Amino acid sequence: MLVLSRRPHDAIMIGHDIVVTVLSVTRDHVRIGIQAPPNVEVQREEVYVAIQEQNRLSASPTVGALEGLAAVVTANSEMSKSTASESTADQPSGHEGDRKD
């Protein structure tokens, strides 16, 4: 880790296109400004960690979620079979009205 001492309005360069400027220093706060290109994400550490945790949770399915998904799929499959058999039972066979006497 590089440790620097800077005064208000002093800046440091990161690479060729990121500038970190000390805006003000009070007793227990340092305000900094960061100039970076639009394609560079700049996040506070706690926000970055929270985003990474949410991404990790979203990407790894839990056993409970898989069981819930399996139950929904099974219920939908059973419902489809039930609906299909009811609709074919309600329809005439097609032979009863065809007979001519």
For residue range 18-66, list pLDDT tens digits in order. Answer: 999 999 999 999 999 999 999 999 999 999 999 898 888 777 766 566 6
In the predicted model, is pLDDT for residue 91 greater than 60?
no
Residues near 51 by Cβ (< 8 Å), separated by ≥ 6? 43
| Separation of alpha carbons 82 and 101, rounded Å | 37
**Share of residues in the chain with pLDDT > 70 (%):** 65
| Separation of alpha carbons 101 and 2, rounded Å | 103
In the predicted model, is pLDDT for residue 96 greater than 80?
no
Positive or negative torsion for Cα 58, 62, 64, 67: positive
Mean pLDDT, to the nearest integer, of 64-91? Answer: 63
Q: CA 79: distance to chain centroid?
A: 31
Comparing C-alpha atoms, which of 38, 42, 37, 44 is closest to residue 18? Answer: 37
Q: What is the pLDDT of residue 37?
A: 97
Q: What is the pLDDT of residue 62?
A: 63
Assessment of whether the complete model's pTM goes beyond 0.75? no
Q: Please give the residue that has the higher pLDDT: either 19 or 70.
A: 19
Q: Where are the alpha helices (DSSP H) in the chain?
A: 45-59, 63-90
